[in-house]
Structure 1
């Protein structure tokens, strides 16, 4: 008898952040202290990966962004090989207990640690993908557009590079080095509040737009989804996505998709996209690691017309998972 989605216990591994032992934790027992910065400040970073066929999809890009996020928060750089080994061990346990062919959501969490010790905390969790996520992957989403509610001045010297995660070890930290927009931090309360607002108003998701940057004919500039990257499919095998940096987090799934699609003969570019561009595209997608690809069915209450072959685009996105 099949176990209902979302009712199985997660696989939790607690890590030594600088390498060392990896221990499995009983899901019913706590392992985070009251003074951990993850709890008291949301001070830490995370990555969410898809486990498919017992392997982490798009692992290299996730590891690179994980390290970049840690650098932006001035945390010790995580050992990518160590995290990859821990993930492989957890995935092996998942397959042993769940069987082949069951996707999992894997979350890496790395915090500044306890105030009393100053030593970072680290763990990873494999869990069932929520049924709602699977439904959106299969059936698409209704979306509303909204301003994010804050802005980043990317005209300041160095800010755009920092928010792209482009400031590496030994490089000069220039203006506003405390900006962490380019990092996947644990402080996702605003994103979750935006999704709750969308649900309360009869939609599934949001696409953020910039009310300061309005094209006279096309409307406001498009940024990203609350937990996803926006991708447009256009005629003549073209894919477009908003330029990353500033208020747009570089997307690992989008990067893998563009590499895979270009090898298949598509022309892919990051460029400024405006609201009207979404309405005139052949199809609009929200891409992310676990939901993978959710086609946007309607925008601000109006159905988006579909052109081309959306299943061809979906197949491209699915095919990019191994890139």
Structure 2
């Protein structure tokens, strides 16, 4: 492999000598500059394995050269060999502080020059191999992490399918509301990682309904007061099912399950939380879940129009819903309607594929 050596010196005879010595190493290509400013531009834009720079130069001396080189992203660890006079110890100290790696004293001894250049090139080669190894490890970690996330998503899908067999309000509903939730999170400025976490965890919001008896869960008419008290337990059931998982997705799902029926004014359940005491994911899911429930037909009610559902969100902003979450959803109504159209079908297996 060819190694690239940059040589910067304002004396032509020195450039010729250093270039000839570098070429004797056999695997090196020398790049020479009489102008320190031109050499710096090359060093900042091209990869080099070693920089040899003189101290005494017009325009930009060796120390200023090193300082500007080290300030360039990606050039923090390129070996730099500075050439100074024997009596310039103070210059060497300043050069070390600036980032010089090694020194050569004038007049330059050829044997010493070749030895120091060989050692610094070996250092550069080791640095490059270490960097390549780090990049390889990073990619391996990324692959392993991706596999873990895929397994977690499969877990979400299977848990959601378990709820599907018991609750007529699942199916395409959980995908629409999950994507609505991601829209709201994006508008609120949550990070991309948080948006993806919410998208993957939101389908678990009603997993606790697996613990509700069929005669209550599937009742076509209005629930009695006692039946509704039992139905409300699904929030706590979902939390208990998911809370002890080591999975970040299932942990987020536990929090959402527990809090998505809390209301901004404190009148919700199970804990009567108020305002920002309700976790942000739960506040977001509350808006997404209600909008989709209202605009979907159920055994006990016809679907509301989109306009009526949006009006409900507006009128309940600050009481049932976090006003910021409502405003974020209203700002993205067109995108929400595209999601509604996209996941209109109840072909459950194919609808789950995007997760």
Query: Which bracket does the TM-score occupy, shorter chain normalised?
Result: under 0.3
State TM-score, norm by structure 2: 0.18
Larger relative contact order (Cα-Cα within 8 Å, sequence gap ≥ 6)? 1
Q: Which has the higher strand share?
A: 1
Whichever of the two has the greater Rg, that structure is 2
Greater share of helix: 2
Please give the TM-score of this superposition, normalised by the length of structure 1. Answer: 0.19
